[in-house]
Amino acid sequence: GILIPMIVPVDTPLWMIAVATAFAVVFAKEVFGGTGYNVFNVALVTRAFLFFAYPAAMSGDQVFVRTADTFGIGGGQVVDGFSGATPLGQVAIAGNPMTTWDMFLGLIPGSIGETSVLAILIGAVILLFTKIASWKTMVSVFVGGAVMSLIFNMIGTTVAMCVSPLDHLFLGGFAFGAVFMATDPVTSARTETGKYIYGFLVGAMAIIIRALNPGYPEGMMLAILLMNVFAPLIDYYVVEANINRRLKRVIK
């Protein structure tokens, strides 16, 4: 629950967050049996509900662009600060106008938790030190994203989204999702080998969505929710493979 305010624009009305949270808790958590039994990441279901139910408040120019009229000044001039579409929206349209250093420090607009890769890395160290998150899942997400980004750069399918793999990993909610969302122990793969597969597919799918869907340049949220569905299947086949391998040893 504490992650929900971190993955939405800072000016999202509290009543919207309350409605979305109630929906997610009931339909993504309680119907499956409560805490520890949910199939989908509850925070991401909240984010998905907000994105599809209130799109104007979650993406586009209105979220990050403020005019003088907005502050009651009059005149309709853009005030000092960032003006333009969301960072990933800019990349999807005209390439990446931001520096890697700005993206690393968090000197770009975005949801509270996704802008500063430096802060996310500090959080990653804490999660790994306390053994709350799995480094296998975390690293695999970044590897999957980097590999798929390289593939799209070689193919050149979508020129605007063919930015460097490093920029893809720094932009949007990729780093935050890899560290705090994909590593959720309840909704991610639980087998050791499955964690590698699950993480890799999350990262790869996020880049695929970014590159091939111009109407939705983010991708991380949908990638994680999709792989939440397949996490039990991945674990099943990993366990079956281990059983078959041991049976072959017995037969020999």
Q: How confident is the model at residue 134 (pLDDT cuts 50, 70, 90)?
A: very high
As a whole number, mean pLDDT of residues 215-243 equals 91
Q: In this predicted structure, what is the pLDDT of residue 95?
A: 53
As a whole number, mean pLDDT of residues 68-92 equals 43
* Residue 103 pLDDT > 50: yes
Name the burial class of residue 232, with classes exposed (0-12), middle (13-18) and buried (19+) by CB atoms within 10 angstroms of its CB. middle
Query: What's the one-letter identity of residue 169?
Result: L
Q: In this predicted structure, what is the pLDDT of residue 252?
A: 64
Q: What does the pLDDT look like over 27-44, one tens digit per residue?
A: 999 999 888 889 999 999
Q: What does the pLDDT look like over 10-23, one tens digit per residue?
A: 788 889 989 999 99
Q: What are the Cα distances from residue 155, in Å, to 151, 162, 166, 185?
A: 6, 9, 17, 35
| Of the candidates 37, 45, 40, the residue with the CA atom closest to the CA atom of residue 19 | 45
Q: In whole angstroms, give the CA distance from residue 112 to residue 10.
A: 6
Name the burial class of residue 32, with classes exposed (0-12), middle (13-18) and buried (19+) by CB atoms within 10 angstroms of its CB. middle
* Residue 145 pLDDT > 90: yes
* Residue 128 pLDDT > 60: yes
H-run or E-run covering 11? none
Q: What does the pLDDT look like over 153-201, one tens digit per residue?
A: 887 655 445 677 888 888 878 999 999 999 999 999 999 999 999 999 9
Among 44-53, 102-111, 113-122, whose mean pLDDT is lowest? 102-111
As a whole number, mean pLDDT of residues 201-207 equals 94
Q: How confident is the model at residue 79 (pLDDT cuts 50, 70, 90)?
A: very low
∠ CA 234-240-246 to the nearest 5 degrees?
Answer: 140
Q: In this predicted structure, what is the pLDDT of residue 127?
A: 93
How many CB atoms sit inside 10 A of residue 26's CB? 10
Backbone angles phi, psi at 184, to 5 degrees: -55, 115
As a whole number, mean pLDDT of residues 33-60 equals 85
DSSP 156-207: TSSTTT---HHHHHHSTTHHHIIIIITT-TTTS--SHHHHHHHHHHHHHHHH
As a whole number, mean pLDDT of residues 80-108 equals 60
Q: In this predicted structure, what is the pLDDT of residue 125?
A: 95
Q: In this predicted structure, what is the pLDDT of residue 155?
A: 79
Q: In whole angstroms, give the CA distance from residue 111 to residue 223.
A: 18
